[in-house]
Amino acid sequence: MRAACRETAKPDELFVKGAEQNQAKQVCQGCVVRTECLAEALDNQIEWGVWGGMTERERRALLRRHPNASWRNVLETARTKAQQKAVTA
């Protein structure tokens, strides 16, 4: 598996400010490793750039609300439930 950003974006395009962040977030849409990427950024409190479709501001807000969460477990569980729901629908 390869991250979408490795295929379509230059690294500097994911470390931008303001409205450019919306473009950077689009790179993450449909990425096969989006969950793992976001979990990495949240669990390690990475401060800069767009990771897993979230900006640093969005990640900080999430971390303030749930400072002790194990994000990899939370996100992987949510992904599994969504996949199971899609199969049964």
5 is in an annotated binding site: yes
Domain count, the chain: 1
- Full domain range(s) for residue 21: 4-88
48 is in an annotated binding site: no
Is 16 annotated in a binding site? The answer is no
Q: Residues 6 or more apart from 47 whose CB is under 8 A from it?
A: 56
Q: Which residues of the chain have pLDDT under 70?
A: 1
Residue 7 pLDDT: 85
Q: What is the DSSP string of 47-68?
A: -SS-BTTB-HHHHHHHHHHSTT
Q: Is 78 annotated among the ligand-binding residues?
A: no
- What is the per-residue pLDDT for 1? 65
In contact, 15 and 5? CB cutoff 8 Å: no
25, 50 contact by CB (below 8 A) = yes
Model pTM score: 0.83
